[in-house]
Structure formats: C-alpha cells, structure tokens
Structure 1
Amino acid sequence: MSFQAYIDNIKAKTGKSPSDFKKMAENKAFLIDGKLNPKIKATEITDWLKDEFELGHGHAMAIYATFKGKAE
C-alpha cells in the first residue's frame, strides 16, 4: 500500500487529515511548534492513535511519519 493510500484510508475512517492530527498532537504536547517533542517516544503517539482512533499500526506510523515531516 502506498503512503498516500494510508493517508486516504485514515481520512475515510476518521474524517481527519494529517493537519487535523497535528493540531490534536500539539494540544497533547506531542508536538511543540510543529516539531516532535523530544521527551515523547513514538510508541506514546502511536498508542494514542490506535486507542483513540482505532488505527492499525501501519496507519498510526503513517501519521507519525507526517509528524516527522517525512510526507504530507
């Protein structure tokens, strides 16, 4: 599955875009000024995405990749 397919599936399932997830992550202090908080481990973020949005591991990692600036 391509990265864009992951993003499209996430949006279809949750109604949220990567930008929406970034805003929520900033509210939780996972991101500070658009950058990953160095005190937060990737697992904390992916666990939040899995628990709150019922995303699978690959989909949670795709959102995490957008937080790292890997893709939009």
Structure 2
Amino acid sequence: MSFQAYINNIKAKTGKSPEDFKKLAEEKGFLEAGEVKPTVKATQITNWLKEDFDLGHGHAMAIYASFKGKTE
C-alpha cells in the first residue's frame, strides 16, 4: 500500500487529514512549533492514534511519518 493510500484510508475512516492530526497532536503536547518534541517517542503518538482513533499500527505510523515531514 502506498503512503497516499494510507492517508486516504485514514481520512475515510476518521474524517481527518494529516494537518488535522497535527493540530490535535499539538494540543496533546506531542508537537511544538509543528515539530515532534525531542522527548516524545513514536510509540506515544502511535498509541494515542490507536486508542483515540482506532487506527491500526501501519496507519498510525503513516500519521507519525507525516509529522516527521514524509509526504509520499
């Protein structure tokens, strides 16, 4: 599955785009000035996405990757 397919599936399931998740992650304190805080581990973010949005591991990692700047 391509990165874009993951993003499309997440949007279909949750109604949220990577930018929406980025705003929510900033509110949760995972990001600062649009960047993942150095003290935040990927597992913290993926666990949040799995628990709050019922995403699978691969989909949660796609959102995390988008936080790190991946777009493809």
TM-score (norm 2): 0.97
Structure 1 runs of 4+ with >6 Å offset: none
- Structure 1 residue 45 and structure 2 residue 45: aligned? yes
Residue 35 of structure 2 aligns with which residue? Answer: 35
Shift of 1:64: 0.2
Shift of 1:29: 1.0
Alignment root-mean-square deviation, CA: 0.9
How far does the alpha carbon of each residue in 1:13-54 deviate from its partner, in whole angstroms, 9 at most, with x for none?
000000000000000111100001111110000000000000
Gaps (5+ residues) in structure 2? none
Gaps (5+ residues) in structure 1? none
Query: In structure 1, what residue type is equivalent to 2:2?
Result: S
Query: In structure 2, what residue type is equivalent to 1:41?
Result: K
Query: In structure 2, what residue type is equivalent to 1:32?
Result: E
Q: CA–CA distance in 1 between the matches of 2:31 and 2:66? A: 11
Q: How many residues align?
A: 72
Q: Percent identity?
A: 74
Q: CA–CA distance in 1 between the matches of 2:23 and 2:66? A: 12
TM-score (norm 1): 0.97
